[in-house]
Amino acid sequence: MSTVHVVLPGDVDDPRVPSGGNNYDRRVCDGLRELGWQVRESALDGSWPEPDDEACDRLASLLTGLPAGSLVLLDGLVACGVPEIITPHAGRLRLIVLMHLPLMVEHPALDRLERATLHAVTAVVATSDWAARQLADHHGLTHVSAVPPGTDLAPIASGSDGVRQLLCPAAVTPRKGQDLLVRALAEVADLDWHCRCVGTTSRDSAYAAEVAELITERGLDERITLSGPRSGAELAAEFEQADLIVLTSRAETFGMVITEALARGIPVLATDVEAIPDTLGTASDGSVPGLLVPPEPGELAKALRSWLTDGPLRERLRESAYARRATLAGWDHTARKLAHLLEHA
């Protein structure tokens, strides 16, 4: 039986802060077990990627205690900011770093630390082809592989009236761009819609407060709801009621909520940035199951107005989303691909 030691952020299973990265970590750990791997998890509390001394000591002690030659899969949030801990073990352990989001996106001051870590380890795993290319080019790496997230097919969503219920399932952070969404929705306030923003507000509470204030300033308190985090059955219920998924990210290395929407046949309005176009993809007939626009309020507003007023457009997008649903890969595919990579590390 193959064994892998997996080092995870301490909040990996915390329902108060759900994230695509945490979901990916959990699903691949479970998937490797189903494939017969012995998975030994260590979830380390700490303010990663900028941990205090106590958290650093926990990570150093964990790695020091592993036998030589051990295969170790580290979440990039834990590993990338502390090359002084990772590098001394690189020759003794087979270290693989799983990158959900490069530090330069939200922690640019740590970019050089990430580079040192990634050059030291045996291999790097990115969650999309786009992210793998970006990491390779930015850090000058030759050992980056892409293992995209899988998707669970779900029943086709019922929606509301097929038009007006908008859902933005994302943590309320500057990268996810809810401020852009609020400004865009203010430009279509003459139309009938309601938008639920479902995601934690605790990762950047100052930004979440700014978004809430912007909603009030634009007179949209009755139409835009910051609902807080949802997971499991509660999140599934949110998707079930949605007519259109809206993702207004400024940066995205995959965008798992897009495939979660398509798995339910829900069209997507998203920003045309980084990996999002690849994640949205095309149906077997070549049609695009959503709308892609620049991350600008005016462009988002135009797309929203088109969705809300153009019935034939909505029907085309729904048909394309149904067709794209049939092409999505499952989490078993992700686990097999990661297992293959680990076996050859």
Residue pLDDT, tens place only, 226-277: 999 999 999 999 999 999 999 999 999 999 999 999 999 999 999 999 999 9
Q: How confident is the model at residue 14 (pLDDT cuts 50, 70, 90)?
A: very high
Q: Tell if the pTM clears 0.85, that is, is over it.
A: yes
Percent of the chain with pLDDT over 70: 100
Residue pLDDT, tens place only, 31-70: 999 999 999 999 999 999 999 999 999 999 999 999 999 9
159 inside domain: no
pLDDT of residue 207: 98
Give yes or no: residues 172 and 318 share one domain.
yes
282 inside domain: yes
Give yes or no: residues 145 and 195 share one domain.
no
Residues 176 and 208: beta-carbon distance below 8 Å: no
Give yes or no: residues 55 and 126 share one domain.
yes
Neighbours of 71 (CB within 10 A): 19
Give yes or no: residues 224 and 314 share one domain.
yes
Give yes or no: residues 176 and 228 share one domain.
yes
283-295 mean pLDDT? 97
Residue 26 has pLDDT above 90, yes or no: yes
pLDDT of residue 315: 98
142 inside domain: yes
Residue 18 has pLDDT above 90, yes or no: no
* Pair type for strands 194-198 and 165-169: parallel
Give yes or no: residues 62 and 126 share one domain.
yes
Residue 1 has pLDDT above 80, yes or no: no
Give yes or no: residues 215 and 294 share one domain.
yes
Residue pLDDT, tens place only, 127-163: 999 999 999 999 999 999 999 999 999 999 999 999 9
Looking up residue 105, the CATH number of its domain turns out to be 3.40.50.2000
Domain membership of residue 220 as a residue range: 165-325
Counting the structural domains of the chain, the total is 2
Residues 6+ apart with CB under 8 A from 142: 136
pLDDT of residue 230: 93
